[in-house]
Structure 1
Amino acid sequence: MDKVPSGQNKIKTFLGCILAASFFWLMNVLNKDNYSIKLNYPLAIEYDNSSFVPMQPLPKRISVNVSGDGWSLLQKSWLNFNALPVVYKVLNPNKASFINSTTLTDQITELFPDLHVNYVVSDTFELNFERKISKIIPIRVDSAAINIRDGYVISSIINVSPSLISVDGPVSLIASYPDTIRVSVPTPKIQNNYDESLPIPLPVSPLVEVSHRDVYISFEVAQYLNDISQ
């Protein structure tokens, strides 16, 4: 007499049928053409960074609508986060105000020969570059404002290191930097030799490179005696 399958075995058989049917359905779907998908793909903007500065963050990813068979789309959507970026070259940053989506589409088409690139979503393609310049600024100590205790004097030259700094950045920002930087010594009633590193009073901007942010100031202080011979 045949053994009647238990309820647990029936459930396993049912689940096995469902998985097999799902597998064959998925294989059939992936082999079909004319599916569309939007890929989020890495983007690298190349430009002459020794002569120009981007005034706003450059886009690092692009959205691309592509179509093709299911297998190719699955592969691209799975691997695109680790893929090499699309490289877009800005040949004339001084005149470039946006990324040419047509040129970008052509480049992406070369990367996806097995897919059809329908269009690039161009919602963050604005560009704004300024020419980079350098400026050398001397540093001076506001010696008249140094607070020395009564009965004491500065008895040496005032050493400043560095005495010059350089700032590099976009023209519009560098133009606002002073021609001379004056550093104030904040210590009151100085009576001993002075030897301190002080911050250079300059605005902080991610677009400007400053060679030094601190300046070393030192000088000697001596006590003077009244003439008691009289």
Structure 2
Amino acid sequence: MKKLKKIIALIRKYAPSSDPARLKIMGICFLSAFGFWLLTALQKTDHRMVIKVPIGYRYNQSELSVMKPLPAYVQVEVSGEGWNLLKQYSPISDTPIEIILPSDASRKYITSYGLNNDVHEFLRERELHLERILTDTLRFDIDKKVRKKVKLAVEIDSISLAPGYRILSAISTFPDSLELLGPAHLLKKQPDVFHVKLPLNNIEGEVNEQIDIAAQLKPYISIFPSKVRVAFDVDHLVTVNRKIKMELKHFDPKGAWFINDSSTYIQYDIRSRDKDLDLPFRVGLDFWQLDRDSMVMPDVISIPKHVENVHLDSGAIKILFKQPVVKEGSKK
């Protein structure tokens, strides 16, 4: 280094910057001096530097989930001849140190002590000496892959019906179950029922939709099959208000108790196409349910299929008592 400084000082003294020819001579001399110094320095064996030793991994990808990228290198301080250190910047890729990860994910980390022999061997092949490993520990965010079978159902809140429309059948899914594959700690938290969201808005008719559910999964989890079919019936409903005759129970036709009108009104929602059907509703009025105020509440005995929101318009029915007729002149 002292020789290089002397050469530079001489160049500055005898080659003023105003003379182009001398500037050229100065540059040549400088490069020659630098090259001489570099060749001398590279031949020395006491150089130290920090380099990155590449790390590779061998594991069964079908049995192990890697949650985060595995560490790609370990930093080490080495010493050796300058030429050998210079080779570490060569674009030629080195074969990395290989770490084997067991399929049961039992190996979560490896310390610098555990890497010591492999790093020594790696550097020995490159004629370098290991001074110390700077990376203390390599940690692996991995987990064992497991399978879990879950039932398939449609998330009710995701069904968007047009105003006045109702679901009028069972909601069917094909298939009715799924198989999940993923990290054990994630599948342990997964519910036993997978709720699929229906990507439809303002539904106004029958649904028979194939849905890709892969996008609805959490990261690192696979599902089989990835597409399912959802089917159910939807139709427009109208409200019908209809007069119906009640069935009288436990009334003595020859008794003193009676009602003025045995009819009432029943209200229900039904498909618009079926609104004119004469449906077989049955409404009963049971005398044995008579309360202290001589009132009886009618009861819907049977409801036909495909109707909703059934209720009676009338409240409790007043039961009347027939006053006996007393003939004139008769004794009380």
Place the TM-score, normalised by the shorter chain, in its bin. 0.7 to 0.9
8 Å CA contact 2:153–2:195 kept in 1: the answer is yes
Report the equivalent of 2:154: 141
- Relative to structure 1, the CA distance from residue 164 to residue 200 in structure 2 (aligned partners, 3 Å threshold; closer, same or farther) is same
Q: Percent identity?
A: 25
Where in structure 2 are the equivalents of 1:1-230 lying within 5 Å?
7-79=19-91, 82-91=93-102, 94-112=105-123, 113=125, 114-141=127-154, 147=161, 154=168, 158-183=171-196, 185=198, 190-198=203-211, 200=213, 204-211=217-224, 215-221=228-234, 223=271, 224-228=273-277
CA distance in 1, matches of 2:232, 2:216: 27
Quick one: distance in 1 between partners of 2:100 and 2:136? 19
The 2-side partners of 1:102 and 1:63 are apart by 13
Q: CA deviation at 1:21?
A: 0.8
After superposition, the C-alpha distances for 1:142-175 in whole angstroms (9 at most, x for unaligned) are 67996587587646x7552443322222222111
Does the Cα contact within 8 Å between 1:193 and 1:221 map onto a contact in 2?
Answer: yes
- Greater strand proportion: 2
Aligned partners of 2:120 and 2:24: how far apart in 1?
47
Partner Cα separation in structure 2 for residue 25 and residue 188 of structure 1: 77
Unaligned runs of 5+ in 1: 1-5
Structure 2 vs 1, CA of residues 116 and 79 (structure 1 numbering), >3 Å: closer, same or farther? Answer: farther
Amino acid at match of 1:44: G
1:93–1:65 CA distance, 2 compared to 1 (3 A)? farther
The 1-side partners of 2:142 and 2:158 are apart by 41
SS class of match (1:104): helix
Rounded to whole Å, the distance in 2 between the matches of 1:134 and 1:92 is 14
Which whole-Å CA distance do the structure 2 matches of 1:186 and 1:131 have between them?
Answer: 33
Q: Tell me what 2:246 maps to.
A: none
| Distance in 1 of aligned mates of 2:163 and 2:224 | 34
Question: Secondary structure, in 3 states, of the residue corresponding to 1:125?
Answer: strand
The answer on whether the counterparts of 2:78 and 2:129 sit within 8 Å (CA) in structure 1 is yes
CA distance 1:216–1:124, shift in 2 (3 Å): farther
CA-based RMSD: 3.6
Query: How far is the alpha carbon of 1:187 from its aligned partner?
Result: 5.4
Q: Against the structure 1 CA distance between its residues 228 and 193, is the aligned structure 2 distance closer, same or farther, given a 3 Å change threshold?
A: closer
Alpha-carbon deviation of 1:71? 0.5
Distance 1:220 1:151, change over 3 A: closer
Question: Structure 1 CA distance, aligned partners of 2:47 and 2:58?
Answer: 33
The whole-number CA distance in structure 1 between the counterparts of 2:216 and 2:201 is 25
Separation of aligned partners in 1, 2:185 and 2:90 = 44
Distance 1:145 1:206 in 2: 22
Describe the shift of the 1:79–1:108 C-alpha distance in structure 2 as closer, same or farther (beyond 3 A).
Answer: farther
Structure 2 unpaired stretches of 5+: 1-17, 236-270, 280-332
Deviation at 1:27, TM superposition (A): 0.6
Q: Report how far residue 61 of structure 1 moved.
A: 1.8
Instruction: Assess if the C-alpha contact under 8 Å between 1:59 and 1:124 holds in 2.
Output: no
Partners of 1:126 and 1:143 in 2: how far apart? 43
CA displacement at 1:39 relative to structure 2: 0.9
Which residue of the partner structure matches residue 3 of structure 1?
none
Q: Compare 135-144 and 197-206 and name the one that shifted more.
A: 197-206
Aligned length: 223
Displacement after TM superposition at 1:41 (Å)? 3.0
Aligned AA (2:95): L
In structure 1, how many angstroms separate the alpha carbons of the residues matched to 2:27 and 2:81?
29
Which residue does 2:11 correspond to in 1?
none
Contact kept in structure 2, 1:39 and 1:77, CA below 8 Å: no
**Partners of 1:53 and 1:201 in 2: how far apart?**
18
